[in-house]
Chain A
């Protein structure tokens, strides 16, 4: 009887595939299993593939991202994931320099577009192009009915950046399988350098071109989490993450200007005049804390689903942030849905963020601080994302398409606004 009730609740049975699917879910439900286990019974392997296009206005950054995620069961106790990502990036990115009309400084562009010398114009942004290949593997092994260990490894390679990572995650279900406790540890090693090799001497004159060896950074992340079924239609999650990284944190392409405000004799308006340009300098370690909570809730006769999450972040660079993310999925039919998305993000500035080294008395040398960056991403800012996704089941798979608009605004940065468009189409192929 319980099987019949469970199947009836799942949805309308239209064909034999649905019967198979629903019986799988019902069987797994009786055994106290999860959705992933139910899907595993029906589809032992699936391949999710996606193409994403990201474009910023004003001819800034453009990225095409191709992704393929393969998931499959090697046995009843072992599941593997293979994730491949290929990013193709190009466009222009702010250097951190002021938009000056009197600059005469050489500057090498980001991510390997070569060196450009600017004479009498602005080099507040430079062109770049790069390709990134990312590979991540994971293997989840069920130790017994309630515990699972997941081992992971990752590799990311660009022209001027390499990252290697490893992780281990442990999860423990309660006897009633309504609560899951997780603990995880990850370590990574990153090598950072300019395409021409080396990293610039922090806070040295850009024109001097003083180069050090490649930068290296070690990062360690530890997470504790709990997820709990609150009722038949709600599940929640709470995570705490602490991260520590040690080594090179500076962006080898970013600079900061020494500048003064001067009045244009023709228009009467004030504009920045750049006097000198320095490479930026950031601290060589960073301690971060993150509290993340999320929930999924279904309501209504048609099965509308809300996902909500909140994240609080703080670190010892003086940055704290609040992030709220909401999606609302409305079924259009038994096979398709529409899902609006809204995200709110607010951050404070890093302690060492500066628009520039302001020098109103050009005859007096400035006293440089220990750390300084004018990277707009370290400024106080606000980001709003709005988007919508459409999804539908096709024969043997699931199709999704979404469009999103992102608007970031910053308080003091030279480039105080970034607008971006995101388009993504995905297809998940299920193999019986």
Chain B
């Protein structure tokens, strides 16, 4: 379990250091509700701003976690099952 906690700490530290901004400012900016006019949707139209920017990666990850964990689902419905080991 200690190794897991160390991994967790390193991961959070890596993510935080790469973000380069304070978390509270980012949260404030992210959750402030503002109307968006049609001509202001350039950023929202970018590929990396889609809720699932890489469906192929998501598909692969969901298969891995479905095979190794007891819970699954949430993003959508449909798709085939498997008898994974």
Contacts and interface: CB of A to CB of B under 8 A. Distances in A.
Whether chain B is bound by chain A comes out as yes
Interface of A: 2-3, 5-6, 9-10, 25-26, 28-36, 38-39, 48, 50, 52, 54, 61, 65, 67, 69, 83, 85, 87, 89, 93, 110-111, 128, 132, 134, 136, 138, 152, 154-156, 158, 160-161, 163-167, 169, 177-178, 184-186, 188, 190, 192, 219, 221-223, 227, 229-235, 237, 239, 241, 243, 251, 253, 288, 290-292, 294-300, 303-307, 311, 313, 315, 317, 319-321, 323, 326, 328-330, 337, 340, 342, 344-345, 347, 350, 377-378, 381-384, 386, 389, 400, 402, 405-409, 418, 420, 422, 424, 426
Interface in B35-51: 35-36, 38-51
Given A29-B38, A65-B60, A89-B85, A223 B80 contact: no
Contact of B19 (A136, A158, A188, A304): A304
A61 B60 contact: no
B21 to A, nearest CB: 7
Given A26-B42, A154-B79, A298 B74 contact: no
Interface in B1-40: 1, 3-4, 7-8, 10-12, 14-15, 18-21, 26, 29-36, 38-40
Given A34-B44, A83-B59, A300-B21, 4 more contacts: A186-B79, A239-B76, A319-B70, A383-B65
A329 B48 CA distance: 8
A330 B18 contact: yes
B19 A306 contact: yes
B29 A313 contact: no
Contacts of B20: 300, 304
B15 to A, nearest CB: 6
A62 to B, nearest CB: 11
Interface residues of B, number: 65
Nearest to B12: A342
> Chain A: interface secondary structure?
strand
12 contacts: A29-B38, A35-B45, A65-B63, A67-B56, A110-B85, A156-B80, A160-B83, A231-B34, A290-B74, A297-B29, A406-B68, A418-B68
Given A65-B63, A328-B15, A382-B4, A408 B68 contact: yes
The 7 closest A-B pairs by CB, nearest first: A292-B74, A161-B83, A167-B78, A156-B80, A186-B77, A313-B71, A221-B77
A347 B80 contact: no
A154 B44 contact: no
Nearest to B8: A384
A67 B38 contact: no
A402 B57 contact: yes
B22 to A, nearest CB: 11
A128 B4 CA distance: 29
Contacts of A164: 80
